[in-house]
Structure 1
Amino acid sequence: MIRLFTSISLALLLVSSLHAEKVAEKDALLLNMIQAYGGKTALEQASSYIQHWRVLRAADGTEGKETRRVTLPKRLYVDLRYPDKEEIRVLEGTVGIKIFGKHAKKQVFGPMLDAMKLQLLRVYNPLQLKKVSDRIEMTREKEGYILKFVKNGVECDYYVNPKNYHIEKTVGKLKMGPNTMEFVTLYKDFVKQNTVLMPGTEVKYAGGVNTATNRLIDTEFVRLKKVSKHRYERI
């Protein structure tokens, strides 16, 4: 009985030690990522921004433009315009709105809402990931690190290059009935925008099919002041 108790105690101690080592490795990775992306102070000041992108639709080569407004960790506004199509997506927490053209506006649910949640998770920077590190699962593969984060029923996996600590790919996983669909984004051409590292190119895939390529035009960081519980204004 004493031997059994000792064996169990040693096993528990080993599991606890391995868990602590993995947590320490994850924290060190996130700190290195924060430094690579410009540092804690710069990322804190860059939690809200507006970006303009050139978009090339992969299906037919049509060029469009995208305006993206981000306020981490809960708000996302995307205005996507092609010559033959216009669409605005607005996410506020867990509430999603789609606007088609000038008048068609509706609240979305299910996979459409989950797709918006995933869009927001894809733009989380390393500092934002550090704030939720207790909910992140880290694994190490041959090509680098994978950080798995699940929020509001949506999973996003961040693939981190161990050489430069850049997030070079995200894989979003959405439940569609009994199936799971993957949305992959590749990040390239990293550039400093007001001391903060940003990808200059995004290549997007849905279900293994290339859908679009975004190329960054500019980024404007926005300082905000709180007006009410759910509303902010630019300073």
Structure 2
Amino acid sequence: MARSRLMIFDCDGVLVDSEPLAAKAYERVYERHGMPGVHGGIIAQCIGMKQSDIIVKIKELTGHQFPPAAAGDIWAETKLLFSEELKPTPGIAPFLSGLAGDRCVASSSSVERINHSLSVTGLSRFFGEAIFSSSMVRNGKPAPDIFLHAAEKMGAQPADCIVVEDSPFGVQGAVAAGMIAIGYTGGGHTYPEHGARLKAAGADFICADWHEVGRQLAGLGVPA
């Protein structure tokens, strides 16, 4: 009998191809507040973090202190871009259609952003209310909190969970939670060293598309 597994998916850069759009939103908003120079290379170092941690990281990298009262501007700009341009990652809808067993989303983004992303891309139907955000736990990725929270709520043991992540921070969190980590490099923000960095973070497998994810899951006894 096949072992029951819980599939845990990151949202940004895994389910939806959002990272290039999110980086553009940060660039625009920082520029609008008189803080130029926050470019894609800087934002790339923040992938996998929640917004409050990204703002701290940008300050470390650039010296720019974003005004706390304007934090809502980042989501407003991001939401606008997502509504106009956000797409699912290539092949994810057919993959989810064929996936058996329980699945959920565990993301550093806010619940509102996750739900908007899934709605715009037509992926909401695959997850229902099985949506978990770092806003629900004390520590964001690379801490394991969000993954352990998701497993508990879904009634799964950490050792029976498989996480699909696109960021080193996310992979580190999954590994710290005692879960199998699949590093996904099929998003529009991927780069030549992407897979190697995910592997160095502890990913058990590196997959450039959903067909390869399916092959790895089959090897683990998960129908996909």
TM-score scaled by length of structure 2: 0.29
Larger Rg belongs to: 1
By relative contact order (CA 8 Å, sep 6+), the higher-ranking structure is 2
Higher strand share: 1
TM-score scaled by length of structure 1: 0.28
Higher helix share: 2
